[in-house]
Structure 1
Amino acid sequence: MNTLKKFITLTTILTLVTLSLPQSALSATQPNKNVILLIMDGTNSDILTLSRWYRGTDLQLDKILVGGVRTYSAHSAITDSAAAGSAMATGMKTKADYIGMNRDGRPVLTVLEGAKLSGYKTGIVSTSPVQHATPAAFTSHVLNRDEFGDIGEQQVYQGLDVVLGGGAAWLKPQSKHHIKNDDGMLKTKQVSREDGENLVKTLNSAEYDLVLNRDGLLNSSGSAKLWGAFADEDISYELDRTKLKPNEPSLAEMTRMALGRLSKGDKGFFLMVEGSKVDWAAHKNDPVGMISEVLSFDDAVGEALDFARKDGNTMVVAVTDHGNSGLTLGNQGTNGDYKRLPAGKFVEPLKKAELTVKGAVSQLKKDRSNLKEVLSNYGLGDLSEKESSALEDAKTHEDLENIMVKLMTKRAKLGFTTHGHTGEDVFLYAYGPDKPVGLIDNTDIPKVISQYMGFSLTSGKFVDWYGDGMTYFRGKEYKVIVEGRTSKNPVMVAKRDDEVLRFPENKDFYWRNDEKVRLDSVNVYDGKTFYVHMKE
């Protein structure tokens, strides 16, 4: 038999063997597909340039720049984080404040939910409360982004494999913690879940590893589900965290630990990581805080790229959801000499700061006897008599912060156009197989991800996943009512003959008389309509 005949014979045999194998054996030979989506909230291009000069080396992001992203919402050229996050989660433009809802206010399946239903492990990481707009958009469905109680409950009952971030206050029936008034006085702030449910007990009964600090996270191991709640509200700015809150983990550490836990699955995973607080610092016009969080996010991108390069089958996408603050290198004061300003003129004043403006002012004593030290921690020395007088006359912490950032901005020759969001296109960064490239819309991101992972949000079983449960059961001759909001969640009750079905809001189950029946999704109630997914 000559060589060609041998090759044909061998190929035929291998084909027949492959066709005879069960599908499970075939799928076992396929490499796991993973996706890491990293979102840097509220970041414009100039702060990336400034952060690069500040660090003195290229950013991890620079190595994977592939295009740009349009960010507008359904009704505005300038989006908020809820509409932008929902667009990146669902592939649909929507209104401001809507979370996981289309523009008509109807819940639609997210790419994270689609991945979970397709057998992938799923996780979210955030430096904000995990109930905040961007992580919420991937994991919940509400008409108002401020509904942290409902968002947190849906997240718990979604059964995610990894959740790491802030927001511990909304897991407990009541949470008390101390914060400072603007006048420096300590006060007690209380956060209460409207339904009175203790979601910590729910997590424990669901066999999550629950960790509450950095050491607990870094020492955690195993393959169980992992929930890390490291602050009642947000995790500290990275520049402040290392000095003031060392028990909180960094974004890079949370990302690395999430990847370690998720990669132990049998199929692959989807992970969303948000560097939340570039946006928060931008709203304050604090360039020090903005740089702190850009570099923190860039370190997390480095963790994702390290994993992806070793794995070979991981798509990494990094993007911001919208611009914020209109930061510029250069201002009205540089009109005449911008051609003679080296990078150091912008960066050197910023490097004098050891804390962000929030971190520095948080250390102010009630009698303000340490004001000079507070200002020094923010890099403000050599004050003029006029500057010193303005700072001493500041009545509230907010007033003091505003004056401090204006002084820093002037020293660093920077400009700000707004304390709000901006509507420019933003950079697109990506790495790995089938990555997106070019100028795309934010709604294209989940489409690219879902296609790579082998499912669709726009066709097949995931379209119209959430149905109007009230209409559905009335069509089957049930009598349907909604028990109103009391100390417990609203419940849709459907009765027919001796059968009583009870669907509690935000849960992934219903009761058939005394039998508890699991669902593939959480029940969503918008105040008028109960949305559920029923298996026919």
Structure 2
Amino acid sequence: MKRTITLFLLLAVIFMPAKAQDVENVKPVKNVILLIPDGTSLATVSMARWLQWYNNPDQPKLNIDPYLCGTVRTHSSNAPIGDSAPTTSCYMTGQPSRTGYVSTYPENDGDNDIYPTDPARAFQPLTTVLEAAKMLQGRSTGLVFTCEFPHATPADCSAHSYNRGKYEWIAPQMAHNDLNVVIGGGVSLLPEESEAYLKGNGYGVFKNDINGMRSYKGNNMWALFGDKEMAYDIDRNPAEQPSLEEMTRKAIEKLSQNPNGFFLMVEGSKVDWAAHANDPVGMATDFLAYDRACGAALEFARQNGETAVIMVPDHGNSGISIGRRDCTGYDKLSKDQLFHQFSLYKLTAEGFAKKVNSLPNSEVQNIFREYAGFELTPEELDALNHCKDYKNSPIPASERSTDGKGSLYSGSLTSFMSKLLTSKTCFGFTTGGHTGEDVFLAAYHPDRESLPVGMHTNIELNHYLCALFGMTHGTLEDLTAQNFVPHTEVFKDFKCEIIPAKDEKGSPSLVVKNKKKQVNITPFSNIVILGKKGQEEVRLNSVVVYVDKNNTFYLPAKLVEYLQ
């Protein structure tokens, strides 16, 4: 396998463009903080900056602005436009992958592959920068985000799956990967076994407990808020859910206690969600929340002197523009005409939907006067009342119809709110999906000569992240070759029996035997049981991954030693 890996690495290098940054000359640092605003196009940054400046004339610039240094071309293995799973996977592993793949080697797609891929490696888990920093250098690791914790971007750092939606595979991997700090959404998604594992290993586990998170004295913790994702920042109840900035500061406080250093990934998750919904309020305000988290990370880095900070989206989304064709004369509008109405919005589209569903219909105009700065026209009020998921409509559900009506009438209540709020601006959208433009790159390094200046590919950004830890991409490949080997190769001289899952949502287990010894392996965990009666528990420094596509367990090669 090593020979095959080396051959395809060589082919990838031959077909790869020249590096924008000479990583051999990058000065390694003690700590690395990577901050990703998911699905953020450059126009989103501009819109957020204008909103901040309009509301606060003494703040014309964002925290990231002095550190903007280049762009990143981000893509899947076989398509120029990627989703969060393969794009952040590439940042983490150096290997572009397919839509939906979480730090997993892609299937070969022939001429569609942008760089050569090895068909023999399809579905193999790939070691991430986070995992390498933990395993090789003893650094602490942490994740901060506002989506649910098994969602694509946090999962990309600490789990492996060809299907980003398989939370039952991803969630236990994240718990068993021994991350030191996890703060974000997803209370309902933490399995009982995973919670027991964390508590049994000395973690503080807090669920919808902001005071517990704030007062906890230990350094290892999971703090989750919201049944699944957390609220948008502008909709958030600060007494119940912390801001992204506070979560970032808390994670840095805990992780920085390790003398070996740390790796922290912070995601402004719901910029992307708002972009999918074509909700400019959520996009701008959640990006500003992300920028405040960047400010916290940069403040620590400047004071610490041994920390690098990288700020980069994983892909664009929505094709948003400041200017819309049917907004006549938009290019001559003053800043007041472009941004005054926008500055009056106090809720996202989702927030407005929840608000009107929580109060009687008689309060609708008061809601819009207070939270949007305008009243609904008769046509807009009629469109609201015809929304099928508007609970307080005076029109019976059976009598509501969108047939033959205008564009405001189509879609859900949240979709109606997005269209309504946008209609009062001159912003435009081309899509409700991802887009393929380059994304911004901003960075801080205590040694300015080590900054990543220019246009990078997503592969090269991984090489830069590795260099910050004094590693190379080859280091990740070596760890992959050691820790994610097919069980048929590791145990080729022994009897292997795959025990079927007990139910549809479960996964099979693996039993390997010789005459005197036995290894019992459960996937998506770092725990292996030795002995026919389970006499001994072995804790690995990586997780075992099962792939149903090829009925294969990927595990450390050294496990064979327990049978020899």
* TM-score (norm. length: structure 2): 0.81
Paired position in structure 2 for 1:220:
216
Tell me the amino acid that sits aligned with residue 351 of structure 1. Answer: S
Are residues 1:502 and 2:544 paired? no
Deviation of 1:354 after TM superposition, in Å, equals: 1.4
RMSD across aligned positions (CA): 1.9
Give the distance between the partners of 1:305 and 1:492, measured in 2 at CA: 46
Counterpart residue number, 2:539: 518
**CA deviations over 1:194-225 (Å, ceiling 9, x no partner):** xxx43222211111012232222222234x31
Give CA deviations for 1:309-358 in whole Å, capped at 9, x if unaligned: 001111100011111111110101245x2342122222211122111111
**SS of match in other structure, 1:439:** strand
* One of 245, 249, 252 as aligned partner of 2:245: 252
Distance across 2 between alignment mates of 1:482 and 1:407: 55
Residues 228-239 of structure 1: pairs in structure 2 closer than 5 A: 228-239=223-234
- Does structure 1 residue 151 correspond to structure 2 residue 170? yes
Task: Structure 1: give runs of 5+ residues left out of the alignment.
Answer: 1-29, 173-196
- Deviation at residue 485 of structure 1 after TM alignment: 1.5
How far has the Cα of 1:440 moved from its partner? 0.2
Q: Do the aligned residues in 1 keep the contact of 2:365 with 2:375 (CA within 8 Å)?
A: no
Partner residue in 2 for 1:269: 262
Are the aligned partners of 1:117 and 1:520 in contact in 2 as well (CA < 8 Å)?
yes
Q: Distance in 1 between matches of 2:516 and 2:307?
A: 51
Q: For 2:287 and 2:52, locate their aligned partners in 1 and report how far apart those are by CA, in whole Å.
A: 11
Aligned residue for 2:412, secondary structure, equals helix
Q: Which residue of 2 aligns with 1:24?
A: none
| 1:277–1:290 Cα contact (<8 Å) kept | yes
How many residue pairs are counted as aligned between the two chains? 478
- Pairwise CA distance, 1:393: 2.0
Confirm whether residue 319 of structure 1 aligns to residue 319 of structure 2.
no
Aligned counterparts of 1:481 and 1:95: Cα–Cα separation in 2: 31
How far apart, CA to CA, are the structure 1 residues paired with 2:149 and 2:40?
19
Question: Residue in 1 aligned with 2:156?
Answer: 137
The aligned counterpart of 1:49 is: 46
Give the distance between the partners of 2:482 and 2:126, measured in 1 at CA. Answer: 7
Alignment of 1:273-312 (within 5 A): 273-312=266-305
Distance 1:235 1:467 in 2: 33
- Does residue 86 of structure 1 match 2:89? yes
SS of residue matched to 1:394:
coil
Q: Specify whether residues 493 and 237 from structure 1 end up closer, same or farther in structure 2 by C-alpha distance, changes over 3 A only.
A: same
Partner-residue secondary structure (3-state), 1:75: coil
For 2:380, which of 382, 387, 392 is the aligned residue? 387
| Amino acid corresponding to residue 513 of structure 2 in structure 1 | K
Shift of 1:31: 9.8
- Give the counterpart letter for 1:325 in structure 2: S
Three-state SS of the structure 2 residue aligned to 1:332 is coil
**Equivalent position of 1:440 in the other structure:** 456
Q: What is the identity percentage for the equivalent residue pairs of Structure 1 and Structure 2?
A: 37
Q: Counterparts of 2:257 and 2:378 in 1: how far apart (Å)?
A: 61
Change (3 A) 1:456 1:486: farther
Q: Conserved in 2, the CA contact under 8 Å of 1:153 and 1:507?
A: yes
User: Mapping of 1:65-464 within 5 angstroms?
Assistant: 65-103=68-106, 104-118=122-136, 119-172=138-191, 197-212=192-207, 213-222=209-218, 224-242=219-237, 246-335=239-328, 337-363=329-355, 364-365=357-358, 368-376=361-369, 378-379=371-372, 381-397=374-390, 399-432=412-445, 433=447, 434-459=450-475, 461-464=478-481
| 8 Å contact kept, 2:175–2:198 | yes
Distance across 1 between alignment mates of 2:370 and 2:524: 45
**1:152 aligns to what SS in structure 2?**
helix
User: Aligned AA for 2:335?
Assistant: A
- For 1:185, the equivalent position in structure 2 comes to none
- 5+ residue gaps in structure 2? 1-26, 54-59, 107-121, 391-410
Residues in 1 aligned to 2:85 and 2:440: alpha-carbon distance in whole angstroms: 19
Secondary structure of the residue that 1:77 maps to in structure 2?
Answer: coil
Measured in 1, the distance between the counterparts of 2:555 and 2:436 equals 35
Q: What is the rounded CA distance, in whole Å, between the counterparts of 2:366 and 2:277 in structure 1?
A: 21
Q: Which of 16, 22, 31 matches 1:34?
A: 31
Offset of residue 455 of structure 1:
2.2
Question: Judging changes above 3 Å, is the alpha-carbon distance between structure 1 residues 478 and 283 closer, same or farther for their aligned structure 2 residues?
Answer: same
Q: Could you say what secondary structure the match of 1:249 adopts?
A: coil
- Picking from 515, 532, 535, the partner of 2:555 is 532
**CA offset at residue 388 of structure 1?**
2.3
Name which of structure 1's ranges 78-87 and 389-398 shifts more when overlaid on structure 2: 389-398
Output the amino acid matched with 1:228: A
TM-score normalised by the chain length of structure 1: 0.85
Shift of 1:380: 5.7
Contact 1:67 1:438 in 2 (8 A): yes
SS for the counterpart of 2:31 is: strand
- How far apart, CA to CA, are the structure 2 residues paired with 1:310 and 1:420? 39
Question: Quick check: 1:473–1:480 contact (8 Å CA) kept in 2?
Answer: no
CA offsets 1:493-535 (integer angstroms, 9 cap, x no match)? 1111121111110111211202112222100001111000133
CA–CA separation in structure 2 for the residues paired with 1:381 and 1:201: 51
The residue that corresponds to 2:62 in the other structure is 59
- Structure 1's consecutive aligned runs of 4 or more residues displaced over 6 angstroms after TM superposition are none
1:281-306 Cα distance to aligned partner (Å, 9 max, x none): 11111111111100000000000000
Distance change >3 Å, CA 323–CA 378, structure 1 → 2: farther
CA distance in structure 1 between the partners assigned to 2:460 and 2:139 by the alignment: 21
